[in-house]
Structure 1
């Protein structure tokens, strides 16, 4: 891992736990064939991910827990009220 890329990424995503998750997910995408958004001297997927984050090309967003709870409740209600399949 290139420390210069890590330092750049830390300036964009200051929380180390979030940076770890975001960079790992992007590195996994790259390993599975996603195209890199930057030219990087390193072929290491984590270095590429950190450079993308450092340049502001990759970000993150938290979901809305209240909205997710409502969707989950509606799904449970739909299952309970759905007619049983006749065999």
Structure 2
């Protein structure tokens, strides 16, 4: 898939676009993305989740991860992975 992306573009997409080739293309063009993680997307912990802020109804955490391509080789790109926890989940 060839993308038309320019510097500082922000892509917002669902998990079907969560592939290393697609995301690497955005990064190579100095763009940004907010994409729901696909179940098959391979990543490796690079840090613990850390609290980055609170929003209405919950708390947001961030984690830096390394990713892998289809052959299992690590990419030199690090991604920020975020996690939202609602107040109800945190209370449990």
TM-score by structure 2 length? 0.22
Between Structure 1 and Structure 2, the one with more strand by share is 2
Structure with greater proportional helix content: 1
